[in-house]
Amino acid sequence: MKWKKFKIKTVTEAEDIIISTLYDIGLEGAQIEDKVPLTAAEKEQMFVDILPNGPEDDGIAWLSFFVEETEDGRLQVNGEDTDEKAVMASVRKELEELRAFCDIGEGSIEVEETEDIDWINNWKQYFHQFYIDDLLVIPSWETVEEEDQGKMVLHIDPGTAFGTGMHETTQLCIRQLKKYVTPDTVLLDVGTGSGILGILSLMFGAQRVVGTDLDICAVEAVRENLESNHINPEKFEMMIGNIITEKEIQDRVGYGCYDIVAANILADVLVALSPVIVNQMKPGGIYITSGIIDDKEAVVVEAVKAAGLEVLEVAHQGEWVGVTARKPV
């Protein structure tokens, strides 16, 4: 399938109004490229493989709209045939009308053609097998080489929504899980994502895992990754909801029943999570956290201590920090 991409250079303040206006003429599903910092709500949803802060916001935004192109070069908008010239004319008309009462910045338009792009699977070209210490992490579309036979292998397909284990924050958690998981471990994974931490805990010998996430896509991602690693799905229970704010989720997860709680999430979320999650932990239970950028280390350590937990270790990798603590017996 071929697509025409109409890319508009504008300003961040005009993103919503341009998207809404062009939606009315049949251009739907805008791709937004800007440098606006994440909101608190957006950060709350980023539970795995978190990236550091991006470049400073310069107020510029690029909005891209994709229009299907037939084999004979016709475009289709609202189910009707049109052409590039007509679409450009419509877009320019709408932008000029908007310019009369709001700042849309440059308002220039570029047109590109994209051909036969698999939007769902295109990201796979960036994910290849790699090692975390002696653990081989490998996607389903690659094979285990002969020299790697006999080593512990995690088969992981993160999909488009979740992390792969490549990020420092995930690796900090994995190393701590290797230290503390035992055959008796019941583990709670807050912000499960692709399920990498819970699945590895089961591979390390844990008895059972409960995972929570805000994104319903986590359920299918975990199911597929359990299957890829030949793990009994009955050992991994997924729940969708916010354990920090939803009493129903807290009740379903249970109280005083977890040997380990793992949370690879943002520092601000860990601050809110710590006084809540201590209620889910057994006496002597271990709290493994990461997702903490280095300048937030003190804030998280303070929150962990304020929740009544004893800090056992603070580990660093790159600009990221992991804090491991214990609930008093």
Question: For residues 158 and 307, which has the higher predicted lDDT (pLDDT)?
Answer: 307
284 annotated as belonging to a binding site for a ligand:
no
pTM: 0.65
Q: Is residue 130 scored above 80 in pLDDT?
A: no
User: Which residues is 258 bridged to in the sheet?
Assistant: 281
pLDDT in tens, 75-92: 888 778 898 999 999 999
Which architecture characterizes domain 2-115 according to CATH? 2-Layer Sandwich (3.30)
What whole-number distance in Å separates Cα of residue 267 and Cα of residue 295?
10
Residue 234's SS3 state is: helix
What's the rounded mean pLDDT across residues 314-327? 93
273 and 244 in contact (C-beta within 8 Å)?
yes
Could you count the other beta carbons within 10 Å of the beta carbon of residue 243? 24
pLDDT in tens, 3-25: 888 999 999 999 989 998 998 88
* Nearest C-alpha neighbor of 187 from the set 259, 97, 88, 115: 259
- When pLDDT is cut at 50, 70 and 90, the band that residue 190 belongs to is very high
170 annotated as belonging to a binding site for a ligand:
yes
Provide CB contacts within 8 A for 145, sequence distance 6+.
none
- When pLDDT is cut at 50, 70 and 90, the band that residue 137 belongs to is confident
Q: What is the pLDDT of residue 44?
A: 44
Q: What is the pLDDT of residue 293?
A: 85
213 annotated as belonging to a binding site for a ligand:
yes
Q: Is residue 233 scored above 50 in pLDDT?
A: yes
Domain boundaries, the chain: 2-115, 163-326
Question: For residues 117 and 1, which has the higher predicted lDDT (pLDDT)?
Answer: 1
CATH number of 163-326: 3.40.50.150
242 annotated as belonging to a binding site for a ligand:
no
Q: Of 24-33, 170-179, 238-247, 300-309, where does mean pLDDT reach its minimum?
A: 24-33
